[in-house]
Amino acid sequence: MRILKTYFLLILVICSVGNISVAQDSLSLSDAIQIGLKKNFDIQISTKNIEINKLQNTWGQAGRYPTIDINIQQGNSISDQSNNPLSIVQQLIYQNSIQGAANLNWVLFNGFRIKANKLKLNNLEAQSEGNAALIIENTIQGIILAYYSTNLQKEKMDLLKNVLKLSRDKYLHEKEKGEMGFASTVDQLQFESAYLSDSSAIIMQELAYKNAIKNLNLFMGVEINLKWNLTDKLLPENTLYNYKELESKMLGNNTNIKNQVVNIEILKQDVSLAKASMFPVVSFNSGASYNTSRLQINDFPMPGANTSNSANINYFANFTVGFKIFDGGKVKRAIQAVQIQEDITNLNMSKLKHQLTQELANHYEIYNTRIAIFKVNLKSFDVAKRSFEIAQLRKNAGIINSFDLRNIEMVYLQTGTALFEAIYNIQESNTNLIRLTGGIIENED
């Protein structure tokens, strides 16, 4: 019964691992980023917000141009005066009228408010573009890390497959020897335990690999169950950075800093808009109105005199100058409040630069540390790999026992896993440095 269970688990592992090698679409890191830039939902939403701000960024929205209104009204009334003893005409009176008017209103001067509005609309458009750039940066970074994370899980799975193959071969070999009475029960049980443990581990690793693919698809904005054959391998980054150059580049290119600069410019225009209330407002208003009416009296005794028509046209043109003399200090307080808000924004800029400088220094140190760790792990893995290969030969020659072989296998697996994780960690730190210095979008451009 135990043998049947073992063979069933063997078939399950082979089938599950085989499913991953099914023909899949090739996907490079560059292709993944391009797909994400087109299909990521957050990027699409930010693009629509830019379109809205572009539509609103016009001189007409700022208030430079006049407004023209046309109104037409048609009226009908019936007045029954037949039973009114005080009425001179005791008949039914019908009245029809048409009234039309056209008005032009134009603010000629309002304390430079129009110019300030237009500059603010420019900055609001720039703000939406800056927010979109930040979303694009985060998306690209997410795709890069998800891509390399998928590679990491694939490398771990390949490593486990090597160990599993050895465990399976050794177990089947020991089982055949046991059936012929040439193997000890302890060795047979040890190899069976190792084989079952490796089988379970690779099943879990396959799940981790599938989840990593789904996470990559999520960042790209594509169907979640798509499968890919990743063509860019997980390789260590060996770029050497100068901290002062990174800091200078960050202060000039970091997207968060650029967005904060735009926020400061918006506050400056808010100050100008608040000060505009202290200036007079000059406006021009002109128009014309046309009125026509028709009056009909039912059964008026004089033939032909029961209907009356009238019409008139009026034109006008006016200039208005308005100046606020006193409002209880509302304008002054509004200006002071906006100026204080501008000071807060400037302080936030200083705070942001301070925080980003600290973050850059941390990531710089982490990057260099992870490169050093990678070099150590690389040497450890080379040693473990050589030991693993020699141990296989010695076991075949009967020089070492199953326990020693298993220990060497575990060291090989652990050092290999540590090596691939060290490579991924370097890529993660390098991506963080590129993002902080504003280089992610530049690299893609």
Residue 416 exposed, middle or buried by CB count within 10 Å (0-12, 13-18, 19+): buried
- Position 403 scores a pLDDT of 73
DSSP structure string for 29-95? HHHHHHHHHHH-HHHHHHHHHHHHHHHH-SHHHHT-S-EEEEEEEEEEEEEE-TT-TT-SS-SEEEE
Domains of the chain, with CATH numbers? Answer: 2-65+110-279+326-444 (1.20.1600.10)
- Position 22 scores a pLDDT of 42
Per-residue pLDDT reduced to its tens digit, 34-78 = 999 999 999 999 999 999 999 999 999 888 999 999 999 888 877
d(CA 376, CA 353): 35
d(CA 3, CA 290): 104
Q: φ, ψ for residue 316 (rounded to 5)?
A: -155, 155
- Position 248 scores a pLDDT of 94
pTM of the full structure? 0.78
d(CA 253, CA 96): 71
- Position 56 scores a pLDDT of 92
Higher-confidence position of 21 and 276: 276
Beta bridge partners of 295: 95, 308
Give the alpha-carbon dihedral of 341, 121, 119, 42, to 10 degrees.
70
Decide if pLDDT at 88 tops 70. no
Decide if pLDDT at 236 tops 80. yes
